Structure 1
Amino acid sequence: MRISTVTMFEQSTASMNRQQGDLMKVSQQIASGRRVVNPSDDPQAASRAVGVDQAKAVTEQYSDSRVSARNSLSQTESIINSIGDAITSAKGLLIQASSDTLTDANRKSIASELKGVYETMLGQANSTDGNGRYLFGGYKDNQPPFAKDSNDSVQYKGDGNVREQRVDATRLMPVADNGETIFKSVASGAGYVAEAKKEDGTLNQGNVTFRGPQISDIGNAADFRITFTSSNTFDVETFDDTTSTWSPADPADPTLTNVAYTGGEGEAGQQVTFGGISITLQGEPVDEDSILVAKAGGASRGADLFRTMEEAIRVLENPADDAPKKADMRNTLNTAMRDLDNSLDNVLTVRASAGARLNELDVIDSVGSNRMLNYDQTLSDLVDLDYAEAISEYSLRQIGMQASQKAFVDIKGLSLFNYM
């Protein structure tokens, strides 16, 4: 067989190129720190690494989402804490204002201070997050959720939804409470509240005051209303949730219809009991005057923190210069203090919920961090380089390259003339 010079050159060149390619591959691995530089290096490992990279990217996105959720919840918790402090301050002012030793000027001064607390609450209720969105408007976060109407009363303009954010693959977390939950709700355990107003919402014309209500049988407790049919008689009415109307509790029961009123006689007053709830009345009524006894936040008397503050400010700003106005002041302050207690309980409940969600974010963060460590370890096992093995391989390839070059030089110098 004839071996030509061209064949020897081609084989030697191919050997050197192969050795150089192997050396370059190991050099790339050492430079990048990765065993799998190209998918062709290990197709199976490269495919699995793509999946792990994608899972890692999703986990990082959830981590960024939790940062945003934590900021929103922290701001919500801080604002609710401020609102709780404002309610406590307002309750203290009402206790001070209820003293009989104060003059109308003193109460007007307290009303001025109470109005400052009221405006502070309104400002907190219209707080925004760092992106200009209103925190407590639900999905309607592009406008202030609370605004005053033509009667200078605060009305809620948001909706009943709660903004949520996905903080993990299986967790969609509420990141802000709506205004109804904070300012127009009460805790589930809220008690009963009495209010002295007529059916049309106007003030009573008589000077009847109340003490209570007090619950003796919570199992039979129900809303009721005492409506005076004259200065000496009254009816007990109940509320129908279906039709939202009041009707006689039991027209056939003489203890509930045309009941003789004797509360105007003596200082003890007259106790009225219905459905396990009792209230004590005292004073002189006028026909159609009414006393409502209802569960706080129920269908017959919804909760409203701003309405409570407005009513308290109203009676403190106006002089109590006759018996009906004095009775209105006493009744309104009594009702307002109970409403503030219920509102404070509700605010504390909402704050506790926000705190619980912040704690949950910490737990999810911990789980996410462990998951990221697992992903990093898996990715390292799949594509990272063993430097000790790579350096040994590099040295071996380098020696092979040098041997191939020397062999080429030796073969190139061979000639038959050397043996003639």
Structure 2
Amino acid sequence: MKLLHTDLKNSVLKSMTQILEQNRADILKANKKDLEAFKGEDQALYDRLIVNDKKIDDMIEAVTSVMHQDDPVGREISNRTLKNDLNVVNTTAPFGTILIIYESRPDVTIEAAVLAFKANNKILLKGGKEAIHSNKALERCWHQALEMNGLSKDWIRLMHLNRTETQAFLKSPSEPLDLIVPRGGERLINFVKTHANCAVLVSGRGNNFLYVSEHADWSKAVNVIINAKTDKISGCNALDKVLINRNIPEYDTKLNMLKQKLEQYEVELLVDEKVSKILSQEQTIADDAIWYEEFLALKLLIGEVNGLDEAIELINEFSGKHSAAIITEDSEEAQSFMQNVDCAAVYHNASTRFTDGGQMGVGAELAISTDKLHHRGPLGLNQLVTNKYYVYGSGQVRVS
């Protein structure tokens, strides 16, 4: 794949910001078609589908932000000269062609493409059928920006495949494919991992947990729980499960206080058997399988634990390995929690809603990776490259 000069890539992105602004009305019109055609009852999916003026402003800001970031390609990672005078230089290099599969969110068509392109990768965008008109409008903007700068439309393009065709493509790609990023629920991820024949970087489900320690500031705990649960229910960084230490002072009273506060936000509560003895009016879970579930709704499961170790064990067994938080005023306890919980992001006295490229200082993100290879957490510009060794010699041969 040809390496593009940074100035050319930035010129495409500058053109894109202008084209998005010029085509604002057309993008909104296309999105209106998608919203009117939406037949499902999934509120989170519908929320992610919406494009308004603020979303377009955010798209423009994402492109502008990436344009101003340093080019991640060709950076020197290491440089050493060996005893045999071979000069070994390790540098960053593009992946090649990336396929991202995602549901709903048309803004992914902008954020994923801008990051992949700036990192000198081609990108194939497999959006959901529910966002087809929005995605086509945004693809036209990309193609206009590319062609204005003398580049092929092949750098960024949508794939229009049904489930069967997608399965066939994953098994036997009709073109080189170097990396697949499935961005969606457990079913989508399993589908891709089952059928893909190249590297897969999983952007996992949320199902995020928060543990309230016996050493917690209760007011702080309530504020964080409310924010993490209600700020944006469609976010993969939203809160689903709360574990409360039974040794908290005034435990019964505080549970009832939390219940009343959540009811103000119309949050549906589920409780485990132990908590049901106090919150007896709430629905008690009948099947432990629900601990694995990502709700994407105004729903919260509250469970009781005896201490830190039990909380860590439950989180590591059931969570989506995305984000987890502890509320405590004991810094040593917080450190133990953060070191032992197996998640991409761990928090002390803060909302899980901050697991986001922009919020964490990474900038625009392709996804939140819950894998451990090649990167974990927000996949920003600097994470969309691999590495390559350049070895310079003067006729050296190896003697075993």
TM over 0.5: no
TM-score where L is the length of structure 1: 0.24
Higher fraction of strand:
2
Mark the structure with the bigger radius of gyration.
1
Higher fraction of helix:
1
